Structure 1
């Protein structure tokens, strides 16, 4: 009697997620924090404009409003003010909790890799009851690749072309959601492997991906 060789199932995936405009709608909190910073420092900041270009590091935005030699101090002040102003004002994106749950239900790990200051990123997730297996902050675009590799992520989900570059640098599948400043066509042009309307589509996509992968 012969038996067919049994092929082991592929390991459960580690999926990386960006934070701002992927898992959380950070626009209300960031808007309020920029207005507070402007009032505190007496410097005009167009908060409406700032929230249309979320994704890159804080310093990349502050350089538009402060002299370069003041940016480090303004970054520190913004981050100090942020928890009291922005955390409670920031909701989860539609489908965020379900996306994390889908990874867990598949036996995988969900990790957050973000450009946001890491302590504030953790405060957001704790406030919203989103439990990630790891949170790594202060990384932008290609810098994210190292953390994704260290965590063994085979998929990275983000809303910005910088997230696509981070995924590709880590040889991870780039899953983009068109919920941030970059539209679907821009994300595809940047090289995203998959473009979803938002995270509500992620559990079905993950289920299909795991079947194909097996």
Structure 2
């Protein structure tokens, strides 16, 4: 008697944002801005800057430097970053478990972030997060390019820009209220799912896959 072939359930590829989603980069970024201020003699409110993480570096530097100085200041900041910011930035609660849950489901976990890609790779290597790919220098709707290229069906982030990136890629937007945007703001922006933090992600994913199947 012939056996009927069973169609496999498609394993998910899940994209994750980095800053304030997988890592708490505030201590490292704060220290880096303070050093940049010291080196340049320009006042930077580092405590304020770390309340609005998410957009590209140039957008924050524009609050403190003239437009014609921003490229050079970005280069200086990035040269300071590895020695100052990497070790100072811990993983967010549930980050390792979230990536492990994707793997346990047979899927792939990728990082898609606006952060300078070499710095992003240093963070995940230092923390041993070991995603399948790290793609940097993409913000908001631009993130859809990498999400589509890797076939991501879910994108997890903490910012309104992450919601826009997911929707542009036609991926499910899972938001965590661990960054500068509140749960209400993330919901209003169109997030499909809003979690308090990544500790709730494995249980959500376990329910999501049977629903897709």
Q: TM-score, normalised by structure 1?
A: 0.97
Aligned match of 1:101: 100
Matched with 1:137 is 136
1:197 corresponding residue in structure 2: 196
Tell me the equivalent position of 1:73.
Answer: 72
Aligned partner of 1:184 in structure 2 is 183
Residue 173 of structure 1 corresponds to 172
Runs of 4+ aligned structure 1 residues displaced above 6 Å come to: none
| Cα deviation, residue 2, structure 1 | 9.9
The RMSD of aligned alpha carbons is 1.2
What CA distance in whole angstroms lies between the structure 1 residues aligned with 2:7 and 2:211?
15
1:127-166 correspondence to structure 2 within 5 Å? 127-166=126-165
Aligned counterparts, 1:23-62, within 5 A: 23-62=22-61
In structure 2, what is the Cα distance between the partners aligned to 1:7 and 1:160? 39
Q: Which runs of 5+ in 1 are unaligned?
A: none
Number of aligned residue pairs: 213
Equivalent in the alignment of 1:206: 205
Work out the CA distance in 2 between the residues paired with 1:89 and 1:146. Answer: 30
TM-score (norm 2): 0.98
Report the 3-state secondary structure (helix = DSSP H, G, I; strand = E; otherwise coil) of the residue aligned with 2:194. Answer: strand
Q: Note the residue ranges of structure 2 that are not aligned, 5 or more in a row.
A: none
For 2:88 and 2:209, locate their aligned partners in 1 and report how far apart those are by CA, in whole Å.
35
Counterpart-to-counterpart distance in 2, 1:156 and 1:104: 15
Residue by residue over 1:13-44, the C-alpha shift from the partner in whole angstroms, topping out at 9 and shown as x without a partner, is: 00000000000000000000000000000000
Q: 1:10: how far off?
A: 2.5
- Match for residue 13 of structure 1? 12
SS for the counterpart of 1:103 is helix
CA displacement at 1:120 relative to structure 2: 0.4
User: What residue is the counterpart of 1:113 in the other structure?
Assistant: 112
Partner-residue secondary structure (3-state), 2:111? strand
Residues in 1 aligned to 2:32 and 2:169: alpha-carbon distance in whole angstroms: 33
1:127-162 CA-partner distances (Å, limit 9, x unpaired): 000001000000000000011000000000000000
Query: Within 1, Cα distance between the matches of 2:95 and 2:207?
Result: 18
**Residues of 2 paired with 1:59 and 1:13: CA distance?**
33
- In the alignment, what sits opposite 1:63? 62
